[in-house]
């Protein structure tokens, strides 16, 4: 039973970090910011149908706290804020793309599996 695998053991720390990044909106926010580099609050909001101000705010705050994005005050008098993808957030881009690619490729298969499961169950 003694395997010498170099796969990292997933600890509470890792789980916590993943929880912070893989929640309902963070992935999409990061996706948009990776695409565009930087976006304004309301630009971001408009590009994410269904999100509320509050959800966007807390999502951005959390991402900022984890060093994934940077909040840059562009202008003072008319309050203008830009959210930029941070270097460490940039490193997520490939992962996010891979995730999106995977879902796109496998969505049909998953839906078939669901149909089979639901049919068998009822």
Task: Identify the bridge partners of residue 83 per DSSP, sorted by sequence position.
Answer: 39, 71
- What residues numbered 49-78 form the site for DNA, per CB under 7 A? 50-55, 57-58, 61, 71, 77-78
Among 2, 4, 5, 122, contact with a second copy (rule: CB under 8 A): 5
Among 31, 59, 60, 85, contact with a second copy (rule: CB under 8 A): 31
Tell the residue number behind the tokens 């929880």, with chain if given.
19
CB of 6 to DNA, least distance (A): 28
- Classify residue 30 as exposed, middle or buried by CB count within 10 Å of its CB (0-12, 13-18, 19+): buried
The alpha-helical segments, DSSP class H, found in 38-92 are 41-47, 53-65, 87-90
Per CB under 8 A, 67 contacts a second copy: yes
Applying CB under 8 A, which part among 38-46, 52-60, 75-83, 92-100 lies near a second copy?
92-100
């Amino acid at each position: 039973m003694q395997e010498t695998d170099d796969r990292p053991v997933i600890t509470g720390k890792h789980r916590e970090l993943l929880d912070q990044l893989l929640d309902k909106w963070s992935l999409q926010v990061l996706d948009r910011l990776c695409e565009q580099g930087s976006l304004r609050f309301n630009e971001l909001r408009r590009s994410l149908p269904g999100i509320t101000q509050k959800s966007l705010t807390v999502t951005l705050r959390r991402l900022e706290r984890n060093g994934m994005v940077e909040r840059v005050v562009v202008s003072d008098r008319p309050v203008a804020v830009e959210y930029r993808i941070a270097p460490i957030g940039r490193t997520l881009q490939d992962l996010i793309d891979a995730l999106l690619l995977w879902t796109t490729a496998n969505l049909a298969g998953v839906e078939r599996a669901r149909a089979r499961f639901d049919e068998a169950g009822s």
